[in-house]
C-alpha cells in the first residue's frame, strides 16, 4: 500500500512566506520609488502612497503583536528606525529650503 502524497508541509509554508516577504518588499520599495519620483521630478505630493507603505507596516506589526511573536529587540529596532527616518526627513526638509 502506498503512503498518501503530502501536498503541503513546512517547506511549502516557508517558501510561500518567503515569497510573500519578497512581494511586500518589491511593492513597498516600488511605492517609495514612485513617491520619490513624483516629489523630486514632478513636484507632486504623494502622501496617499506613503500612507499605503506605512499602513502595510502597521498591519504587519499589529498582526505579529496580536500573535505574541514580537520581543524587546523588535521594539527597540522599530523605535530606532522611526527616529532615523525622522532625522532623515528633517535633514531633507532643511536642505530643500
Q: Is residue 2 part of a domain?
A: no
Determine the Cα–Cα distance for residues 69 and 49; give it in Å rounded to an integer. Answer: 28
Say whether both 26 and 50 belong to one domain: yes
Q: Which three cell numbers stand for residue 23?
A: 512581494
Reply yes or no on whether the pLDDT at 8 is more than 80: no
Q: Which tens digits make up the pLDDT trace of 45-91? A: 888 888 888 888 889 888 988 988 888 998 999 999 999 999 998 99
What confidence score (pLDDT) does residue 1 get?
Answer: 64
Residue 3 in any domain: the answer is no
Cβ neighbour number for residue 81 with a 10 Å cutoff: 11
In this structure, the answer to whether residues 16 and 52 fall within a common structural domain is yes
Specify if 1 maps to a domain.
Answer: no
Q: Give yes or no: residues 26 and 57 share one domain.
A: yes
Domain housing 85: 71-97
Distance CA 61, CA 77 (A): 12
Q: Are 78 and 61 in contact (CB under 8 A)?
A: yes
pLDDT (mean) for 19-30: 90
Q: Are residues 42 and 82 in the same domain?
A: no
**In this structure, is residue 45 part of a structural domain?**
yes
- When pLDDT is averaged across residues 22-30 and rounded to a whole number, the result is 91
Cell numbers linked to 10: 513546512
Number of domains the chain is built from:
2
Amino acid at each position: 500500500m502506498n503512503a498518501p502524497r503530502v501536498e503541503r508541509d513546512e517547506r511549502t509554508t516557508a517558501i510561500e512566506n518567503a515569497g510573500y516577504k519578497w512581494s511586500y518588499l518589491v511593492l513597498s520599495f516600488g511605492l517609495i520609488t514612485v513617491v520619490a519620483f513624483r516629489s523630486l521630478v514632478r513636484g507632486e505630493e504623494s502622501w496617499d502612497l506613503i500612507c499605503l507603505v506605512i499602513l502595510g507596516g502597521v498591519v504587519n506589526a499589529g498582526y505579529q503583536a496580536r500573535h505574541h511573536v514580537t520581543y524587546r529587540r523588535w521594539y527597540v529596532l522599530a523605535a530606532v528606525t522611526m527616529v532615523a527616518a525622522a532625522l532623515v526627513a528633517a535633514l531633507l526638509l532643511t536642505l530643500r529650503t
